[in-house]
Chains A and B, each alone.
Chain A
Amino acid sequence: MRGVTRDLVRPVARTVPWRALGAAGGVGLLLAAAVRWADGPPPSTALLALRCAALTGGLGLASLLDDPARHTTAAVPVPRPVRQALRAALVAPPVALWWAAVLLLVPADLRPPAADVTLEAAAVSLLACAGAAVALRLTEGTRPGRAVAGALLAAALTGPLLLPDRWTLLVQPADPRWAASHDRWAGLAVATAVVWALSAREPLRRGRP
């Protein structure tokens, strides 16, 4: 099994949608660079740029589990959770590097607490992946990324409008609710990771062709 997994690295790496990830990463870097080059933006703009960059990361990662060959690979001996984990492991180092670059591009005096913003970005990324995994589990589609990206964008737009004040996620560092909101971000990250893990199994339905 372990040997098979090692042999899988190369084919799985070939199916990871690097172009979508690269485009999303480029836009994220552009956002952070815009803050660096802007003429004395307030810290709230820097935070907004980092959150938008995290969102672009999420949009890119929504395509991570897109697999045109999913129906063919349903029968292979390596189970789907292993293959999804392999994909995640393959993109994790470049994504971490990218996020570090985004953080470093924002001038230090404008940068919000890095650990907390990283937690937000991680939660958004996990949300995107979990959404894709749920879509794969519940539907027959091979490329759920586009719909998941649309849903993520919609959630990012309407979440701040619809979430009641006591569950708010998007606060400024000076706000007394910053710490509590990051507890919620951590909860969201854990919950989405659990959902992803639970939905990674191969959907085997009775009567499926």
Chain B
Amino acid sequence: MNTVVVEESPVPSAAAKGTGGPRGVAALARFEARRLLTSAPVVFSFAVYILWTVWRTRSSWDGFPALQDADRATQGGPLLVGLGVLLAADFAALRDRRRGTQEWFGTLVLPAGRRTAAHLLALLPVVLLTAVCVAAQFTWEALKPGAVGHGSPAELLVGPLTVLLLGAAGVLLARLAASVWAAPLLGVLYLFFLVLGTGPSGDTGGTAWLYPVVSTSGNSPFPSDLLGRPAAWHALYLAGVALCLAFLAVLVAARGRGVSARAGLAVALAMALTGGVAQSRGDSAELLAARERASAAPEKEQRCVTRDGSTYCAFDEWVPRADDWAGVVGRVRSLAGDPARDRPLLVRQRIEARYGLDSDSAIPASTRRHQVTVGTAWGGNRVPEFSAAVAGVLVAGSEAAAAELCDGRMVTVMWLAVGWEDDPMGTLRRVRLDDSVEGAAVVLAPTDPLSMTAGQTDVVRRLLEKDRDGVAAKARAHWDELTSPGVTTARAAELLGVPGPEKADSCEE
């Protein structure tokens, strides 16, 4: 009762009709596919993968994904599924040997090579299921209201192809090493070398792309045409390697016989080599030039829209986000005095793309008057950071000037930056580098950070504890004095109606 064929007996019926080949293979593949889908490693790895993915996707990118990053985020989970499939496929291909039925199979119409082919075909439903999961994850990201950008089908293919590759590796392993211990031990090696930390790092050119999943990502998304990831070549490479392993498994089982398997191996090898060579060429000169252009002179690449008198210039894929930016600018301005309230701002999206995808390079502050920088990420902490930059430009005139503020104007800047939020104290805490609301601290911004002294922090905290409209009225009434260079923190506090700092403070302390 242990043998596959006795339980289902597809082969004798196929043999009776004189078609021992394709129909027998298909019947065995169907049976093995069902067993594979319900085997413990596959069920367990899918359960963990789906739970983990759902958990992560609920709040990924703070609800504002760039789809050219979201597509590669689908590649990590299938590495786990692949390990489960590797184990299950290996165990399934060894089942006949483990249960001592291998010799019986020698009397059947399906030769060993075709039985192995059936085990390989049985991988397809698992691969399809992975593809469905990947597609669902990506669709979820794409349907989020804050999504921008474009995904790449080649990046989405990497997950399912990884599962196919690992499954084929499991079947090949079973044909090479007839021990159930080979697969778990190979699994540990796979975890160590490919998954946990020791995988490809900074260098994205050359050999790094030989790994199945190359997840280069820095903090801020790039426009699609500046990514420079050879995603399509990599998908071809993965498909080639997976097919190589599959045909090798068939050839090993058939002891090297079989013209079609040999031809298939040659084609797969050609695919893997083509993809492998093409993917490792590194960044082209055109790409580097485009990154240089986008970093140094973004105004030539961007599209501008006008909202409430202010201009918002962004790379094409981010233009739909102008409304979100305009909302923040409008709320900051609603707290400001009349001169600042009507002043048109230029909000320009800037990136630093020259150092590649996985660098976290800072963007220098803009010295142009009334120009605010916005990055490519949004949501979460990026909102108060942008808000601080807007407030800094409204008060100091430019980002570079705001970064050097150290007098009482900083009180006004920070009150404008977080005063409009629903939870201003929590926002103040998050936007400060050390997550505190006491003492001196650095305030994050899209470009150069601002700095608050301990006294300014005390005054801002007191302002946030008071009624917003009352403070706003006082800020409007004394706007000119509050924003004039050299005003002290104590004077700003006095004008806004709260106690000043205990001792005189300055940035030098």
Contacts and interface: CB of A to CB of B under 8 A. Distances in A.
A binds B: yes
Interface of A: 19-20, 23-24, 27, 30-31, 34, 41, 44-45, 48-49, 52, 55-56, 59-60, 63, 146-147, 149-150, 153-154, 157-158, 161
B187 A27 contact: no
Contact of A23 (B91, B185, B192, B196): B185
B35 to A, nearest CB: 15
Interface stretch (B174-182, B237-245, B294-302, B393-401): B174-182
A149 B41 CA distance: 11
A27 B179 contact: no
B301 to A, nearest CB: 39
Contacts of A158: 48
A44 to B, nearest CB: 7
A27 B189 contact: yes
Given A23-B182, A150-B87, A154-B44, A48 B198 contact: yes
B4 interface: no
Interface string B187-215: 11101110011100000000000000000
A140 B76 CA distance: 38
Contacts of B91: 146
24 contacts: A19-B181, A23-B179, A23-B182, A23-B185, A24-B181, A24-B185, A27-B188, A31-B188, A45-B197, A45-B198, A48-B198, A49-B192, A52-B189, A56-B185, A59-B181, A147-B40, A149-B181, A149-B184, A150-B40, A153-B184, A153-B187, A154-B41, A154-B44, A157-B48
A45 B185 CA distance: 18
Interface of B: 40-41, 44, 48, 52, 80, 83, 87, 91, 179-182, 184-185, 187-189, 191-193, 196-198
A85 B41 CA distance: 31
A147 B193 CA distance: 24
Contacts of B189: 27, 30-31, 52
B433 to A, nearest CB: 22
A59 B48 contact: no
Contact of B48 (A49, A56, A161): A161
Secondary structure call for the B interface: helix
A35 to B, nearest CB: 10
A161 B189 CA distance: 20
A26 to B, nearest CB: 8
A97 to B, nearest CB: 19
Contacts of B193: 34
B104 to A, nearest CB: 20
Secondary structure call for the A interface: helix
Contact of A157 (B80, B185, B197): B80
A4 to B, nearest CB: 31
A54 to B, nearest CB: 10
B192 A63 contact: no
A55 B188 contact: yes
A149 B48 CA distance: 18
Given A45-B198, A161-B48, A153 B192 contact: no
A154 B188 CA distance: 11
Nearest to A30: B189
Contact of B179 (A19, A55, A153, A157): A19
Contacts of A23: 179, 181-182, 185
Contacts of B80: 157
B185 A59 contact: yes
Given A44-B197, A48-B198, A161-B48, A59 B188 contact: yes
A149 B187 CA distance: 11
Contacts of B41: 150, 154
Given A56-B185, A154-B41, 18 more contacts: A20-B179, A27-B189, A30-B189, A34-B192, A52-B188, A52-B189, A52-B192, A59-B181, A59-B184, A59-B185, A59-B188, A150-B184, A153-B83, A153-B187, A157-B48, A157-B83, A158-B48, A161-B52
Nearest to A49: B192
A27 B189 CA distance: 8
Contacts of A147: 40
A52 B190 CA distance: 10
Contacts of A44: 197
B196 A48 contact: yes
B91 to A, nearest CB: 7
A19 B182 CA distance: 11
A153 B188 contact: yes
Nearest to A22: B181
A74 to B, nearest CB: 22
B184 A48 contact: no
A115 B149 CA distance: 52
B483 to A, nearest CB: 46
Nearest to B191: A52
Contacts of A56: 185, 188
A48 B192 contact: yes
Contacts of A60: 181
A56 B91 CA distance: 18
A187 B44 CA distance: 27
A52 B179 CA distance: 20
A153 B41 CA distance: 10
Question: What are the nearest 3 A-B pairs in CB distance?
Answer: A52-B192, A20-B181, A27-B185
Contacts of A161: 48, 52
A196 to B, nearest CB: 21
A23 B303 CA distance: 61
A51 to B, nearest CB: 9
Contacts of B188: 27, 31, 52, 55-56, 59, 153
Given A49-B192, A52-B192, A56-B188, A63 B181 contact: yes
A91 to B, nearest CB: 15
A63 B189 CA distance: 19
A6 B181 CA distance: 30
Of the listed residues B44, B52, B192, B196, the one surrounded by the most CB atoms of chain A closer than 10 A to its CB is B192
B179 A48 contact: no
Nearest to A44: B197
B74 to A, nearest CB: 18
B121 to A, nearest CB: 24
A79 B281 CA distance: 66
A31 B44 contact: no
A56 B185 CA distance: 6
Contacts of B187: 153
A33 B83 CA distance: 23
Nearest to A161: B52
